[in-house]
Structure 1
Amino acid sequence: MSLKAVELQVALPRTQEVTRIQDQQQQRSMHDQQEQIAARKELDELTRKRPTDVSETVQGQVREKQEREKRRDAGQKQRKRSDEEQSEAKREQLLLSDPVRGRHIDISL
């Protein structure tokens, strides 16, 4: 395969680009390994710190759960009071209605 002068003008710069790209690809694998090592170190550090964080989180969750239960209980008591007040108002309305007058109107002539 013989190359002409014009073809060499195009081929030689391309070979330099190709070698640069191949070099970058080889370096990429080394960079990827270094990134994986750094990520693993961070993960190890987090796992070392985690047991103390977990116990603090559990205590916080217990407090939050107790507060939620208190709020829920207070809401239930308030709803119960409002239901009792409504039923009391209905009873009073029934007592105040006049038994002589009745509740129905008969308009038949």
Structure 2
Amino acid sequence: MVWSRRHSAFNLCRYAIWGIASLCLLPFIFTKKNREIVKEMSWREWLTIIILGITNYTLTQGAQFLALKYLPASTVTLLLNFTTVLVALFSLLFLSESLSLKKWAKAL
């Protein structure tokens, strides 16, 4: 019973943080330029954004918890921090994107 109370309190805090973060980002949506972009979006674009958001969040969080089950937390943290470098390398290899020195510096 103690674990479930802690677990529910943790979830409540996590959702509160997401809510606060969402509220902080809302003003950026309501700039004149962004309002025009949002108004022009079709329902398919909205559906794509929603599906990508749900699946990407589910996959990354699931992979992170699975990694924490089998690896030490320090190793998982190092892998998570290495993500930007991996994205840069994969975009170079698979998408043939040319990355400037400035972009590499940001990735590192």
Larger Rg computed on CA atoms: 1
RCO comparison, higher one (Cα < 8 Å, 6+) = 2
The bucket for the TM-score relative to the shorter chain is under 0.3
TM-score, structure 2 as length reference: 0.28
TM-score, structure 1 as length reference: 0.28
